[in-house]
């Protein structure tokens, strides 16, 4: 099949591209020079398409050229904290960019579309509300969450008005190789890799270790996106999650064990988030029932691969003269 993807060089997007190419699909990947910081893989079945999510005419032209059977929309502003610095841009990219993709898809060819939003739409909820489901009322607590909620609502109305076969994917935290710093696992893994290589003192600087979150391997998340494209019900939203909570402390302890080093764990006030939700996890019952998808990669394997990825990155860096 012909596939059009945005966010192909991002964390989840790069793993989805790997899966698509392995399955024999032809991939057209949207590239925006100002925001794409990685290269696409060198492969005869992947083709870059220049364009800007915020340019509706460019998106229509891009889909007209690619003639896709499936569209995956993963691109966007991915950092909740950063959304406070420029809320208007976050809304423009995440909601406006989604609107432009949906309009282009409805205008040309009506391919199946998977719009990726986020479990961050739910906001702060008590433990008694867990596990979250697709029916849980969304109350986002930052502009990022609002932007993703708007993107999901747009997907639903494009199905209702135009019959566009669009599915909304709502992933929880995903982890594994290639994740950038700014998230808990790569921040821990990068420090431990540096300690193991003798490039950092054996001191781990951490924030709040008590919160519990729902973590799924990024490769399982990519597999879920593909299953939703294949058999997800149009107009529906699906949570992508493990279905259980894991504390940040458990992540850290497992990574330290995998690294095989002794460290001094110190709380860094700059890393503390006073608005941390104590516990957040979801139910994957709906996606399992509709598509057969379930996570297959263990938490320990995900963490081991993340640690190995960061060690490889540090070894590849040119040592200062």
Verify that 123 and 225 share a domain, yes or no: yes
Specify whether 204 is located in the same domain as 142.
no
At 35, phi and psi to the nearest 5? -125, -10
Cβ neighbour number for residue 241 with a 10 Å cutoff:
29
Whether 100 and 146 share a structural domain? yes
Tens-digit pLDDT profile for residues 92-123: 999 999 999 999 999 988 999 999 999 999 99
Residue 158 sits in the same domain as residue 207:
no
Do residues 65 and 130 both lie within one domain? yes
Give Rg (Cα) of the chain.
Answer: 20
pLDDT 10s digits, 119-133? 999 998 999 999 999
pLDDT the model gives residue 41:
85
173 DSSP β-pair partners: 215
- My answer on whether 93 and 169 are in the same domain is yes
Please tell me whether residues 90 and 228 are part of one structural domain: yes
In the predicted structure, residue 320 carries a pLDDT above the cut 80: no
Domain match, 201 and 303 both: yes
Q: Is residue 291 part of a domain?
A: no
Position of tokens 């009322």?
137
Q: How far is CA 57 from CA 29, 52, 155, 163, in A?
A: 17, 9, 19, 21
Whether 285 is covered by a domain: the verdict is: no
pLDDT tens digit sequence for 128-157: 999 999 999 999 999 999 999 999 999 999
74 and 196 both lie in a single domain:
no
Instruction: Please indicate, yes or no, whether residues 263 and 249 belong to a single structural domain of this protein.
Output: yes
Same domain for 193 and 84: no
* Parent domain of 169: 2-174+215-240
CATH label of the domain that carries residue 196:
3.90.25.10
Is 292 among the domain residues? no
Query: Which CATH number covers residue 131?
Result: 3.40.50.720
What is the average pLDDT across 286-313? 98
Interval 254-293: pLDDT, tens: 999 999 999 999 998 877 776 567 899 999 999 999 999 9
Is residue 100 a part of any domain in this protein? yes
Residues 224 and 305 in one domain: no
Give the total number of structural domains in the chain. Answer: 2
Confidence of residue 199 (pLDDT cuts 50, 70, 90): very high
Decide: pTM greater than 0.85.
yes
Nearest CA to 5 out of 145, 108, 101 is that of 101
Helix (H, G, I), strand (E, B) or coil at 270: helix
């Amino acid at each position: 099949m012909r596939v059009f993807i945005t966010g192909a060089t991002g964390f989840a997007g790069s793993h989805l591209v790997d899966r698509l190419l392995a399955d024999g699909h032809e991939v057209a990947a949207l590239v925006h020079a100002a925001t794409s910081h990685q290269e696409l893989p060198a492969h005869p079945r992947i083709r870059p398409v220049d364009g800007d999510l915020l340019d509706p005419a460019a998106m229509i032209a891009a889909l007209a050229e690619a003639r896709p059977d499936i569209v995956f929309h993963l691109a966007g502003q991915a950092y909740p904290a950063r959304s406070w610095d420029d809320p208007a841009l976050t809304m423009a990219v995440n909601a406006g960019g989604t609107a432009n993709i949906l309009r282009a898809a409805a205008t040309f060819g009506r391919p199946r579309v998977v719009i990726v939003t986020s479990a961050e739409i739910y906001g702060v909820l008590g433990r008694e509300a867990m596990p979250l489901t697709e029916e849980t009322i969304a109350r986002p607590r930052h502009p990022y969450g609002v932007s993703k909620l708007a993107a999901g609502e747009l997907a639903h109305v494009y199905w209702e008005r135009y019959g566009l076969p669009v599915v909304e994917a709502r992933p929880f935290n995903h982890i594994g190789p290639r994740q950038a710093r700014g998230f808990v696992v790569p921040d821990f893994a990068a420090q431990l890799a540096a300690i193991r290589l003798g490039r950092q003192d054996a001191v781990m600087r951490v924030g709040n270790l008590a919160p519990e979150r729902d973590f799924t391997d990024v490769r399982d998340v990519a597999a879920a996106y593909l299953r939703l494209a294949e058999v997800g019900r149009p107009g529906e939203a699906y949570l992508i999650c493990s279905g259980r909570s894991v504390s940040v402390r458990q992540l850290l302890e497992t990574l330290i064990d995998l690294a095989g080093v002794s460290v001094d764990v110190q709380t860094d006030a700059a890393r503390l988030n006073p608005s941390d939700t104590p516990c957040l996890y979801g139910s994957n019952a709906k996606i399992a029932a509709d598509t057969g998808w379930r996570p297959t990669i263990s938490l320990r394997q995900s963490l081991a691969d993340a640690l190995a990825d960061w060690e490889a990155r540090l070894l590849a860096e040119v040592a200062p003269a």
